[in-house]
Structure 1
């Protein structure tokens, strides 16, 4: 069965569209949001509650403890196995998410450069000395394209990009595959909104997360080792709440930085996805996106 990928910026309604399509054609969903891999990170990732999944099987959700490090290579291997198993069973795999490298690794069979423990350790030491923001500035100087797709708070990915640049002598993106025919002949649909409208959606989304108890969720996860998680602790919303709590606040001051950070991340997502000519873009405000998505899926060749 030909897979379908529904991708795009944060807050555009990808999960809702995927659920509607899945119920129409009897599909199963494969998550492609890096932070939804983590058990317990529910409110801040807008993870669809089990009760709202309407019996549609979901894969690559809640597969990691918060202290574990999420890697693109691991996701690629395990999500590919899910896609192939779903397809072999006669169901349609729907890949849903906005984590850029995770999606490309899956659809383009990205082969990742080897790592070097000595080089990695040196950059990790540099990160510890000057912090993620300053190290991000160093990445800007040596590989601005990589820096534009990596958050200035994501120390782990900044380190990895600098490591690859040093080891290969080429930009980080040079290790990425050429965009060609997508793996499994996957149909790719992108969902987006007008910028002003999406900004309003992001503000409402952020407000809802805090109203629904994001701060309490972070407090609970800190008791389970969130601070030790190299990846999880830097997630949007979680990182901002941790910073406010560490400064003696009650977490509420993290609301605006979370919105600003999310809006900035959306700009990076758009820049990344818009270079992929295989994506058929749909307007999130349109009323017939389910039918349009199915038309794209049925006519991919």
Structure 2
């Protein structure tokens, strides 16, 4: 086993970026990640640093508890004269094994070698020991390595979720949604969420995390997605970011627009201030006062209690720029390539954009709109109206399907639910047309090739799923290999294919397959509108409406 040995001072701190566990063993402290228990009675810190120890010098081989703490980080004091950073780790519920060369330990190694040991501990060993450390860094190829992240993008209906799920099963990955609507609870049909029973046990992040009444911005997504990425890497799994919201993906890769990246000095200073507060018996309220005293009076009240990640980031911004975080959130409409918070690639991104001819995509999108209308989109839109939301009033009600469905149902409520076939087909046609236009905008966004979009390999999504999964898995496991030619979407680069596609699009006409005149699906939908939307006009409150609906259902039974 190759180890890195450093001489350190009496104080040693693990930052949240490391997210490691510690085991006391012969030869020094071995650093592991993603485990809650270790063999041989070793000492460990369960994941997320939910435990801490004030004096490692008193810990022996058989100690199994290191004290309780509500902190999401750890400050280890009196570590001793030597730290051993080993190239092995213990995966959850498994035996101790070698670290794979797939980047699963990348963030951990980068944090310790690049930041924590050299900067936080204070002094790296000199002379022979220091030279040995340098040599071992080169031999183990850990200097500069970054956590690997797979990003699968593409237009609506192209099959992103299907590919991501299959790839996650192959690579032991976890899915991070980059969809601006899937973040909302109860909005399942209109956002095309993968049903829980079809996720095959693969963890999904950033789905069902906020209520429809709340706004959710690209800035919030950046914070949440980056935190989820570190969590997945901490567990030794592969983050697979999936979505078609171009702004979300661009910010995820390049950073928030205009928000300054903290210097290393500011980063360390913020860490020390927050940790000092906690050690002295303070807590969240004291931390909020510290943020307000620093000049940011608006961020604190908007944070969820114990959201230390965002609080630390707010402190970094105010101390770096002299302005509160809210000053930069107003820059949302600025040039998205002007991002400075994390503008350099801090992860090893493997980016893919799924594509197929637009005429084929349009057919899929038209059918998907029909399926949504059949499977509950109108019911979800009705619930949004019942909650007091108006179309286009916030992020949830601004999305294409929900906005149009809410507007349609508002018209139905004005006429006691007397919706006609013609009016329903007008809604469906508008829904399909707006969705096709959104597909076109998604393709245009990624064709513009901004700073982040240049990294995407375009993939022909018409190929068999197994072919795509095999190629992407091989590229992930062998970083020096490029995506095979069979995956490349030649149709996006040849003038001849583009000309043929334009001719097909000129002749394209929607052909409904579910909702046709006198179809059972149409009859059921119109009956549902009559049964539910006619009750609204004479209801003075939502409670009154609910009582009338319950009475109507009881009568019909």
Q: TM-score, normalised by structure 2?
A: 0.42
State the 1:236 CA deviation. 1.2
CA deviation string 1:221-252 (max 9, x = no partner): 32234438511111111111111122237483
Work out the CA distance in 1 between the residues paired with 2:340 and 2:456.
Answer: 16
Does residue 295 of the first structure (1) align with residue 474 of the second (2)?
A: yes
Work out the CA distance in 2 between the residues paired with 1:75 and 1:258.
Answer: 26
Alignment of 1:151-162 (within 5 A): none
SS across alignment from 1:62: coil
In structure 2, relative to structure 1, the CA distance for the partners of 1:15 and 1:174 (3 Å cut) is closer
- For the 8 Å contact 2:356–2:462, the answer to whether it is kept is yes
Greater helix percent: which structure?
1
Match of 2:349 in 1: 186
Alignment of 1:17-56 (within 5 A): 17-56=163-202
243-252 or 7-16: bigger deviation? 243-252
In structure 1, runs of 5+ residues without a counterpart are: 115-162
- For the 8 Å contact 1:189–1:296, the answer to whether it is kept is no
Match of 1:259 in 2: 432
In structure 2, relative to structure 1, the CA distance for the partners of 1:177 and 1:255 (3 Å cut) is farther
State which structure, 1 or 2, has the greater radius of gyration over its C-alpha atoms. Answer: 2
Match of 2:219 in 1: 73
Does residue 103 of the first structure (1) align with residue 249 of the second (2)?
A: yes
Work out the CA distance in 2 between the residues paired with 1:53 and 1:108.
Answer: 29
Alignment of 1:1-301 (within 5 A): 1=104, 2-112=148-258, 164=331, 172-173=335-336, 175-176=338-339, 182-227=345-390, 230-248=394-412, 250=419, 252=424, 253-274=426-447, 275=449, 276-287=453-464, 288-300=467-479
In structure 2, relative to structure 1, the CA distance for the partners of 1:21 and 1:174 (3 Å cut) is closer
Work out the CA distance in 1 between the residues paired with 2:250 and 2:337.
Answer: 14
Work out the CA distance in 2 between the residues paired with 1:264 and 1:207.
Answer: 16
In structure 2, relative to structure 1, the CA distance for the partners of 1:93 and 1:113 (3 Å cut) is closer
Work out the CA distance in 2 between the residues paired with 1:70 and 1:240.
Answer: 20
Work out the CA distance in 2 between the residues paired with 1:220 and 1:165.
Answer: 30
In structure 2, relative to structure 1, the CA distance for the partners of 1:165 and 1:21 (3 Å cut) is closer
Number of residue equivalences = 250
Match of 1:152 in 2: none
Ranked by relative contact order (alpha carbons within 8 Å, sequence separation 6 or more), the top structure is 1
- For the 8 Å contact 1:109–1:183, the answer to whether it is kept is no
SS across alignment from 1:73: helix
CA deviation string 1:83-127 (max 9, x = no partner): 01100110001000011111111111233469xxxxxxxxxxxxx
Work out the CA distance in 2 between the residues paired with 1:165 and 1:38.
Answer: 21
Work out the CA distance in 2 between the residues paired with 1:38 and 1:99.
Answer: 15
In structure 2, runs of 5+ residues without a counterpart are: 1-103, 105-147, 261-329, 481-557
> How well do the aligned residues superpose, as a CA RMSD in angstroms?
2.6
Work out the CA distance in 1 between the residues paired with 2:390 and 2:477.
Answer: 45
SS across alignment from 2:156: coil
Work out the CA distance in 2 between the residues paired with 1:71 and 1:197.
Answer: 31
SS across alignment from 2:181: helix
- For the 8 Å contact 1:185–1:300, the answer to whether it is kept is no
SS across alignment from 2:175: strand
SS across alignment from 1:65: coil
SS across alignment from 2:242: strand
Match of 1:128 in 2: none
- For the 8 Å contact 2:258–2:331, the answer to whether it is kept is no
Work out the CA distance in 2 between the residues paired with 1:70 and 1:83.
Answer: 19
Work out the CA distance in 2 between the residues paired with 1:221 and 1:173.
Answer: 31
In structure 2, relative to structure 1, the CA distance for the partners of 1:193 and 1:39 (3 Å cut) is same
In structure 2, relative to structure 1, the CA distance for the partners of 1:296 and 1:264 (3 Å cut) is farther
- For the 8 Å contact 2:172–2:237, the answer to whether it is kept is yes
